[in-house]
Structure 1
Amino acid sequence: MLMPITIDHLVDEQIQLANATSRPLYLIIVATKPCYIKLASLILALSRNGSAFLAIDVGQHYEKKLVHARHELQYEHLISVYLNVRGDLLGRTAELAERVNWLYLYLKNRQFKGQAIPVISGDTSTAGMFPILWYFKTRLRSIHVEAGLRSFSPFIRQQIPDSFSEILDMQRERQGWNMIQDEPFPEAADTRLASVCSQLFFTPVSLNTQNMLREGTDSKDIHQVGSLSADALSLIMKEPVETSVFDVYPFLSEGRWLRIDIHRRENISYQVLSELFKAIQELCGKGVRIVIVVSNALNKGIRTLGLENVWAALQQQEGVRVTPLWTHYQHVIEFMRSPHCQGIYTDSGGLQEETQVLDIPCITCRYSTDRPETILHVQNNILVPPSSASLISSSLEFILENGRSIFTNSDKLLYGKDVGDRIAGILGEYNPLPVPAMQDIFDDSVL
């Protein structure tokens, strides 16, 4: 078991600031690749406006290719605590509980006197569990950034049409959509858990706000601020390109490519992957060039599902190229903005947001989406469920041939701008719920 690492002088500076101002100490919880990207502007904004905070790297993701954004987005020097949590879903949850207790004692020993308020983002397992564990330990509620994500689908899983035109028509009809409680797994549960022990909620768009209100959240506790994805894009596009993605992967500069990346648990199945691989073969046989970016989940799935031979044969297909996960966030954005990007076929929620901000059509490899606004509000996204090779192949072929005629993006500021500054401004004036009178939250005898 790895032990936590602390940068004590950074911690002490922030504790002293919180104690001197009688303001909360915000614990910014960074856990996974999307957190490293999205929380950058908030951390930088809190640093600028003088709020007391600790940027805490949990360690749920820890490989360089997953955490490099903290360096790219210029805030690595502000991280003051590394919890070094490791393990599978249950293992890291148990370890996280131990680290929450360790963090509680660490802050107590550093003479912190006030309220330490976690700020968690999105729908990761850390986001789901940290507020609950912290609440059980301290009776303090958290702050949920990107609250209200819920998956919706226009489909009945057992009745997926065979034709793309029917698939598209079902998505364009606003009245036919229903909430899907358990997709994606386990993120759909994580985002709900994250809000259970939170008190303040930052929602990206009106659909998220409506979800929170429908579930009983008081409107005064909700702030609709936009998505930190928009800020991350603004930050990364200001950074000079040190090494181009086209230098790392020169083949990408030859023609136009469909980028495919798959990592969701519901897509890492024999049925889905075997049909997807067949579809890729069919498309490449018709002249489409496809680059497959291999996530850890996809790589593991190929091995454990016995698809190694199919995968090896696919890589011999003319027009197919395979790369490891791109370490640089900047490379993903550089490619998508280039004329060499013909499209994106993904199951990523973050990419659905980023493509909308960049005005790049997105194709989503899922039966549902937790960003339904990208289809219902601006029609910058299309669901192509991986139900069969023929549906995937024919749908992608039609989309790539017809392009802009089936996409619109009427609201370029759907996800806002300067979102980190807006959240930091609200946190600068936020007064947490008081704990019971005369109780010291860092005194076990009164908890």
Structure 2
Amino acid sequence: MYRITIVAGARPNFIKIAPIISALTKAKDDGVDLSCRLIHTGQHYDKNMSHSFFEQLAIPEPDINLECAGGTQAEQTASIVLAFEKELNSFPADLVIVVGDVTSTMACTLVAKKLNMEVAHVEGGIRSGDMTMPEEVNRIVTDSIADYFFTTSELANKNLLQEGKTKSQLFLVGNTMIDTLLNNKNRFYKPSIWNALNLEAHKYIVLTMHRPANVDQERNLEVMLNEILSQTRDLPIIFPAHPRTQKILSQLDVNTKRLFIVEPLSYLEFNYLVQHSKAVITDSGGITEETSILNIPCLTLRDNTERPETIELGTNELVGTNPENLKPYLDMLFRGKWKQGQSIPFWDGKTAERIVNVITEKLIKN
């Protein structure tokens, strides 16, 4: 029996693993001799960030939760390394699948390779070029020692080849986040805030900010929010924010008459909100992918991106971190001149199927 261990630790991971688990289960039902063990590192945990995702996306309960929440980057990395080593010693794997670019991705890859187990990185090869981002460090460390790479674009393949990987290690399969989006699009539903705030389709803007560079420096955050409010006419701004960010926001001098700070939303509720918005302003990479497929204008508050296809073919524009950059983009939005999303190769809802085909036809036979 071919033993597969899948690792998830944070909200984006859950979205990416859901279709892979479904495709592996189908392969097993079709007679492929494999087992699949799901590990939740516990890196992020609250009901909307974790449990509801398992429920809504039909992800089976994890075989174990390593409960490695909290602490500094170093403390969390160390906690995951210690706990995952015990897990793999008790339940060895023929293949460990890691996804995305969170601390769990890097830490679990390190443990698996130290124990001489093969690792496949889903979403390998994407690069922002910004080493101040913890995610960029996680990507580079993970990709430097992983064995196989399931990539989202030709550019990701090019990055990996330049870093010394061989073509036999690379599999351009697409984006599992888009599998989940397309599989659940007809299940999106209104969050309770819809009626409470009297929202109307395409007459509000969704805002998300979580990166330390944007939210940890209070003065910068205050200036950015005031600029957003001054350039968005009379539209409501809906800002789902984590408790930590909410605490920072409560201390700022910001006119909150049109700014509605709400609790984090579940996957199906949040994407309903995005799907019916005028636009999204964000510093998240994953949301730029979803808005591109949903054809919703997206303004990214970052100076770089590891997902250039969302700009070249999608609906995303890289605004930068200077608040003064916002005005021309928002002027373009309100003039109705925003670009339309185009088809992105392999972002078609069949990525997980292609991943499992590679596993069953190439990796298991090896």
Query: TM-score over 0.5 for the alignment?
Result: yes
Aligned with residue 246 of structure 2, among 299, 304, 312: 299
Aligned with residue 147 of structure 2, among 195, 199, 208: 199
Summarize deviations over 1:88-137 as a string: whole Å, max 9, x none.
22222111121122113322xxxx6xx4321000110110121112212x
Aligned with residue 94 of structure 1, among 64, 71, 78: 78
Aligned with residue 320 of structure 2, among 385, 400, 417: 385
Cα RMSD (Å): 2.2
- 1:34-433 matches, within 5 Å, as 34-50=12-28, 51-67=34-50, 68-77=52-61, 79-88=62-71, 89-107=73-91, 115-136=93-114, 138-151=115-128, 180-182=129-131, 185-239=133-187, 241=189, 244-245=190-191, 249-254=195-200, 256-268=203-215, 269-283=217-231, 286-299=233-246, 301-302=248-249, 308-310=251-253, 313-315=254-256, 317=257, 319-326=258-265, 328-338=266-276, 341-376=277-312, 378-388=313-323, 390-392=324-326, 394-403=327-336, 405-411=337-343, 415-431=347-363
Instruction: Please tell me whether the aligned partners of residues 72 and 236 of structure 1 are also in contact (alpha carbons under 8 angstroms).
Output: no
2:341 counterpart SS class: coil
Which amino acid counterpart does residue 251 of structure 1 have in structure 2? L
1:120 counterpart SS class: strand
Say how many residue pairs are matched: 357
Counterpart residue number, 1:171: none
Instruction: Please tell me whether the aligned partners of residues 23 and 356 of structure 2 are also in contact (alpha carbons under 8 angstroms).
Output: yes
Distance change (3 Å), C-alpha of 1:292 and 1:30: same
Q: Distance in 1 between matches of 2:274 and 2:237?
A: 14
1:201 counterpart SS class: strand
Q: Percentage identity across aligned positions?
A: 22
2:363 counterpart SS class: coil
Distance change (3 Å), C-alpha of 1:201 and 1:296: farther
Identify unmatched segments of 5+ residues in structure 1.
Answer: 1-17, 152-179, 435-447
Counterpart residue number, 1:4: none
Deviation at 1:309, TM superposition (A): 4.1
Deviation at 1:87, TM superposition (A): 2.2
Larger radius of gyration: 1
Deviation at 1:235, TM superposition (A): 2.2
Summarize deviations over 1:268-293 as a string: whole Å, max 9, x none.
22343022122133235x32321222
Summarize deviations over 1:125-168 as a string: whole Å, max 9, x none.
110121112212x12231100011111xxxxxxxxxxxxxxxxx
Deviation at 1:433, TM superposition (A): 11
Instruction: Please tell me whether the aligned partners of residues 173 and 354 of structure 2 are also in contact (alpha carbons under 8 angstroms).
Output: yes
Instruction: Please tell me whether the aligned partners of residues 246 and 253 of structure 1 are also in contact (alpha carbons under 8 angstroms).
Output: no
Instruction: Please tell me whether the aligned partners of residues 152 and 172 of structure 2 are also in contact (alpha carbons under 8 angstroms).
Output: yes
Deviation at 1:333, TM superposition (A): 1.6
Identify unmatched segments of 5+ residues in structure 2.
Answer: 29-33
1:149 counterpart SS class: coil
Summarize deviations over 1:322-377 as a string: whole Å, max 9, x none.
21111x11112212222xx110000111111111111222111111111111112x
Deviation at 1:249, TM superposition (A): 4.8
Distance change (3 Å), C-alpha of 1:39 and 1:387: same
**4+ residue segments displaced more than 4 Å:** 246-249
Q: Distance in 2 between matches of 1:191 and 1:45?
A: 25
Instruction: Please tell me whether the aligned partners of residues 262 and 295 of structure 1 are also in contact (alpha carbons under 8 angstroms).
Output: no
Which amino acid counterpart does residue 308 of structure 1 have in structure 2? Q
Distance change (3 Å), C-alpha of 1:210 and 1:297: farther
Instruction: Please tell me whether the aligned partners of residues 293 and 314 of structure 2 are also in contact (alpha carbons under 8 angstroms).
Output: no
2:149 counterpart SS class: strand
Which amino acid counterpart does residue 346 of structure 1 have in structure 2? T
Q: Distance in 2 between matches of 1:254 and 1:337?
A: 12
Q: Distance in 2 between matches of 1:297 and 1:399?
A: 33
Distance change (3 Å), C-alpha of 1:371 and 1:309: closer
Q: Distance in 2 between matches of 1:52 and 1:370?
A: 33
Q: Distance in 2 between matches of 1:337 and 1:274?
A: 27
Instruction: Please tell me whether the aligned partners of residues 278 and 297 of structure 2 are also in contact (alpha carbons under 8 angstroms).
Output: no
1:308 counterpart SS class: coil
Q: Distance in 1 between matches of 2:331 and 2:193?
A: 31
- TM-score normalised by the chain length of structure 2: 0.90
Instruction: Please tell me whether the aligned partners of residues 299 and 319 of structure 2 are also in contact (alpha carbons under 8 angstroms).
Output: yes
Distance change (3 Å), C-alpha of 1:101 and 1:413: closer
Deviation at 1:187, TM superposition (A): 0.3
2:158 counterpart SS class: helix
1:406 counterpart SS class: coil
Distance change (3 Å), C-alpha of 1:432 and 1:292: same
1:39 counterpart SS class: helix
Instruction: Please tell me whether the aligned partners of residues 183 and 349 of structure 2 are also in contact (alpha carbons under 8 angstroms).
Output: no
- TM-score normalised by the chain length of structure 1: 0.75
Which amino acid counterpart does residue 162 of structure 2 have in structure 1? R
Deviation at 1:38, TM superposition (A): 1.4
Distance change (3 Å), C-alpha of 1:240 and 1:431: closer
Which amino acid counterpart does residue 262 of structure 2 have in structure 1? T
Summarize deviations over 1:211-262 as a string: whole Å, max 9, x none.
1112111011100000001111122224374xx2256553252461111110
2:97 counterpart SS class: strand
2:255 counterpart SS class: helix
